[in-house]
Amino acid sequence: MDHVLVGTATGSVTDQGDVGSYLATTYLVQAGAVASGDAFDIGVIATTNGTSAAFADATAARAATVVNLTGTVGNDTLTTGANNDTISGGSGNDVITGGAGGDVLDGGSGNDTYTLVSATDSSLADAATSAVGIDTITLGTGDVINTDLTETLGALGALTSVALAAGSEATGATLTAAIAAAITEVANAAFLIKVTDSSTDSSFDGGFTGYYLAICADTTFSSNDVLIKLSGVSDTTTIAVATGGGIGLGG
């Protein structure tokens, strides 16, 4: 590496290496520290000319960076950023935290734990025309999903089928209303939902088809509640309260 900038928490920077190489495209790599609230590493283009910073600070860099992480064969701790990120955990018992954005999270083999820090990390906007804006989690036996709601998780619903009518394009508001009408809403309850979105919609045909985990914070399911698209489940899948809390697959 021809040129390295060594920075400190106070913002001072020491140049190491050939200054001439800094005039080329330069990358900023920030090593995160959980104690400081920066729980993941980021690598972004910091400058393309050696003088103009691409981002004002690490927060701005994080907001513009798409995270694509692949774990190891061991037990990894992996955290997404603020955008639509992708995590592949590999083998091992991984701990995966999904932040904002519609993340695609696959822990791979092992007993993996998925955590959503808040309900807004995976909630469907009323205007959405597909599930791209919410998290997609590949769930297997032994895996657990935690949210800020599951500590007091009460009722668990069996598989509920929801069909979205043909005609005009289905939206997030359409789907949310259809789920609310199909379930018996209870505060701190989770439901496994199978959605069939008509293939004759005017655009984005069948964009919502699939399996979902719906978690109600109160007695009215809405766009403010948690909705996660699930991969790796079927009509015979059941959900259960996992040992120690959270939601896992039933036996």
Tell me the average confidence (pLDDT) per consecutive run of 10 residues in the chain, 251 residues long: 50 52 49 46 50 56 68 84 82 86 87 83 84 87 80 72 82 91 85 83 67 87 89 88 79 62
What pLDDT score was predicted for residue 23? 47
What pLDDT score was predicted for residue 229? 92
Cβ 83 vs Cβ 103: under 8 Å = no
What pLDDT score was predicted for residue 58? 54
What pLDDT score was predicted for residue 10? 56
pTM of the model: 0.72
What pLDDT score was predicted for residue 65? 65
CA distances from 203 to 132, 135, 166 (A): 15, 22, 11
With DSSP H G I counted as helix, E B as strand and the rest as coil, what are the percentages for the chain, rounded to 5?
A: 15, 35, 50
